[in-house]
Amino acid sequence: DKLVIATHNPGKLREISDLLRPLGITCVSADELDLPEPEEIGVTFVDNADLKARQAADLSGFPALADDSGLCIEALGGRPGIFSARWAEDAHGNRDWMRAMQRAWDEAQATDPDAPPAAHFACALALAWPNDGQAESFEGRVDGTLTWPPRGDRGFGYDPMFVPVGHDQTFGEMDPEQKHAMSHRADAFRKLLAALDPSRSS
């Protein structure tokens, strides 16, 4: 049996594949199956993860795992949040992460120029079975601060400007394994695995 990884974001796909590898499940991505990108009309991470997982499961006929995630800046009341990917897009829908990071930094600075801006990454994972009408979801987060200029070329998205609490390096500078040890995605994954197999949570 196969599990569809219902994402079109290569950075996420790489991280989810890493996190799933120990389970030995055969995975196939939304791009490999040519699945369409659903419109993310939800108002929460969980809403959007659920709709992406359900659509991918229904269209493919396989169970599907989706991830909706984003950067939440405390001084901005949690923005960009579910709009994190949209902050990177130009009028043609092309994504430029430098543009998104610059906007996040400028808006945070305009609100509170003195303190390093407090922020967290949030992740909702949703698992859906074909034609089931519902999905199970799991949420994770990691707290940190923003730094400027961005540092490091690993990871993706806002990683080069995010320094997790208790560390000096940005997610963009860390080894993937280090990020997986503390990320919002790994946190949500632990909850998903514990729900699927309660013996793993000990």
Annotated binding residues for Mg(2+): 39, 68
Q: Which is nearer to ligand ITT, 129 or 156 (CB)?
A: 156
Rounded Cα–Cα distance for residues 89 and 86 (Å): 5
> Could you say whether residue 7 binds ligand ITT (CB under 6 A)?
yes
Cβ contact 93:67 at 8 Å: no
Residue 200 CA to its chain's centroid (Å) = 23
Q: Rounded to the nearest 5 degrees, what angle is found at the Cα of 79, between the Cα atoms of 103 and 194?
A: 125
Stretch that binds ligand ITT, among 1-9, 125-133, 144-152, 192-200 (CB under 6 A): 1-9
Known binding residues are 7-12, 39, 68-69, 156-159, 179, 184-185
Stretch that binds ligand ITT, among 18-26, 62-70, 107-115, 192-200 (CB under 6 A): 62-70
> Could you say whether residue 84 binds ligand ITT (CB under 6 A)?
yes
Count of residues that interact with ligand ITT, criterion CB under 6 A: 22
Q: Which is nearer to ligand ITT, 37 or 197 (CB)?
A: 37
Q: Supply the Cα-derived Rg of the chain in whole angstroms.
A: 17
User: Which one is catalytic: 58, 68, 132, 187?
Assistant: 68
Residue 100 CA to its chain's centroid (Å) = 15
Cβ contact 171:183 at 8 Å: yes
Rounded Cα–Cα distance for residues 12 and 37 (Å): 15
Q: Is 18 a catalytic residue?
A: no
> Could you say whether residue 182 binds ligand ITT (CB under 6 A)?
no
How far apart are CB 11 and ligand ITT at their closest, in Å? 7
Look at the block and give the residue holding tokens 């490999």: 32
- Half-sphere exposure in the Cβ direction for 154 (13 Å, CA): 13
Candidates 62, 155, 170, 174; binder of ligand ITT (CB under 6 A) is 155
> Could you say whether residue 173 binds ligand ITT (CB under 6 A)?
no
Rounded Cα–Cα distance for residues 170 and 63 (Å): 34
Residues of the shown chain interacting with ligand ITT in the complex, contacts defined by CB under 6 A: 7-9, 12, 40, 52, 67-71, 84-85, 121, 155-159, 171, 183, 185
